[in-house]
Amino acid sequence: QVQLVESGGGLVQAGGSLRLSCEASGTIVSINVMGWYRQAPGKQRELVASITSSGITNYVESVKGRFTISRDNAKKTVSLQMNSLEPHDTGVYYCGADIKISRVFPQFFDYWGQGTPVTVSS
């Protein structure tokens, strides 16, 4: 079994900062891409930022320059530092990871955390 557990969400005023963290645990052989997604009320889940095992990052245009994703491969964690938060950043943030669970079979599978809410007030 694999679990992704997020922490760090909450309520913050516009212009403030939050740091989200996610730890993967369980039967894990390796982790490829890890990422943060968000789902605003009434909208589809969207990718906010992702990072490969070698540290290559990708951001949605709306968060570039404000958010920073990082990971610790040894600890199987990924974090999202969110600065200059704006009301449209409000949503439930999910950690996602592409994980290999078997040394016999080569497939990677997508796993998700339970989500952590972020609310930015104006």
In sign, the C-alpha dihedral spanning 104, 110, 115, 118 is positive
Predicted pLDDT at 92: 97
8 Å CB contact between 110 and 96: yes
Predicted pLDDT at 3: 96
Please report which confidence band the pLDDT of residue 105 belongs to, taking 50, 70 and 90 as the band edges.
confident
Express each pLDDT in 54-83 by its tens digit.
999 999 999 999 999 999 999 999 999 999
Judged against a pLDDT cut of 90, whether residue 106 lies above it is answered with no
8 Å CB contact between 108 and 99: yes
